[in-house]
Amino acid sequence: MKRTQTAEVNFDSKYPSTHVAEDDVRFIKDENGLDYIEIENRFATAKLALQGGHVMLWQPKHTSEPVLWLSKQSRFEPGRSIRGGIPLCWPWFGAHPTDSSLCMHGFARVTPFTVIDVGQMNNGYTRVILQMTKTENAQRQLSYPYTLVLTIEIGSTLSIKLATTNRASQPFFMGEAFHTYFNVGDIEAVTITGLEQTEYADKLLDYFRGTEEKELTFHNEFDRVYVSTKSDVVIHDEKYKRKITLSKRGSNTTVVWTPWEKKAHQMADMPKDDSWRHMVCVETANAMENLVMINPGYTHVLAVEYVVDEL
Ligand code: BG6
């Protein structure tokens, strides 16, 4: 944890923003009033929704398929989370610990963010800095004063940082996740490494506790929360002939979820076709016994970087 000074935003990137590259960035609004930022720089194409600070699309130029999976049936409406891309779970992961009437995975993913800065970095990447706005809905669910700042650096790699600053006079606990949906060639041809010998809670077996023996492969619905792990994770995709490396910081939990056909077809915002075969969520998180306690005046940063290489 870092002590913040008076500044609202913790600029810890080694590449300071130089100028807004207007040709690379477009701000658009849809018919429902939602705002988006489209980015096309020399390394990648990306699209962000300001509601939820949600990265919807990221495709580096060196890959033939988007890295993120986005549901064709996602609803783009105020107050509704987008299915796919990178939803932000904050300030809790899963169900609220004491009040089940509050929304799953916290309210950040349905709360509008404002733009603090959009600029081109010295290395040609585009950096977007967003801050969650204070809404009545958010205030009702978390009354402590805080700031939540999301920094996204878009290029041939994608880096995201979520900085939570406690502006209250007492400590607070929170859970969080980058709930990232990865686009894969076929879930049954995917292997995930980096979670071997790690303790998990299996949500499909009433949080049964076990230790993962080997690398992960998928032949059924899968929903496990891996605790007390700082390890990088690699998604090996035999079909798309690529691997995606997730390097994280400020995270002690990794969640792996894929719904399989029955559950996917029960979800209103997932298509009734075989799209579920093309997604796996690998979530960089702090959850269960890894909740974060932030002291007054301190900032906690959850960060991840995604790198895509040929297999
Ligand atoms: C995962 C959970 O993180 O998110 C799953 O482990 C859950 O249990 C999934 O089904 C999707 O959640 P939601 O709220 O976006 O439908």
pLDDT band at 97 (very low <50, low <70, confident <90, very high): confident
**Ligand 1 atom, smallest distance to 267 CA:** 16
Task: Check pocket membership of 105 for ligand 1, CB cut-off 6 A.
Answer: yes
| Local structure of residue 112 (DSSP, 8 states) | B
Q: Hey, how many other C-beta atoms are within 10 angstroms of the C-beta on 230? A: 11
Atom 1 of ligand 1: nearest residue by CA position: 257
**Mean pLDDT over the full length of the chain:** 93
pLDDT tens, 63-72? 999 999 999 9
What percent of the chain lies above the pLDDT cut of 70?
Answer: 93
pLDDT at 126 over 90: yes
pLDDT, position 20:
60
Look at the domain 18-310 and name its fold. Answer: Beta-galactosidase; Chain A, domain 5 (2.70.98)
How far is the centre of ligand 1, averaged over its atoms, from the C-alpha of 104 (Å)? 8
pLDDT by residue (tens digit) across 151-171?
999 999 999 999 999 999 999
Residues 176-200 have a mean pLDDT of 98
CA 283/CA 175 separation, integer angstroms: 12
Instruction: Find the DSSP H helices in the chain.
Output: 136-141, 260-266
d(Cα 166, Cα 256) in Å, to the nearest integer? 29
For 280, the token pair is 């796996």
Distance 203 CA to ligand 1 centre (A): 10
C-alpha closest to that of 76 among 26, 28, 104, 35 = 35
pLDDT at 72: 98
* The predicted structure's pLDDT at residue 14: 46
Cis peptide leading into residue 16 (ω within 30°): no
Which residues form the catalytic set?
179, 283
Please tell me the predicted confidence (pLDDT) of residue 23.
75
Structure confidence at residue 248 as a pLDDT band (50, 70, 90) = very high
The pLDDT, as a whole number, for residue 201 is 98
Query: Helix and strand tally (H, E) in the chain?
Result: 2, 24
* Nearest one of 268, 247, 225 to 105, comparing CA atoms: 225
Q: Quick one: average pLDDT of 74-91?
A: 97
What is the rounded distance in angstroms from the CA atom of residue 267 to the CA atom of residue 120?
38
> Is residue 6 over pLDDT 50?
no
Dist. CA 212–CA 190, nearest whole Å: 17
Query: Within a 10 A sphere around the Cβ of 95, how many other Cβ atoms?
Result: 12
Radius of gyration in angstroms for the set of CA atoms belonging to the chain, rounded to a whole number: 19
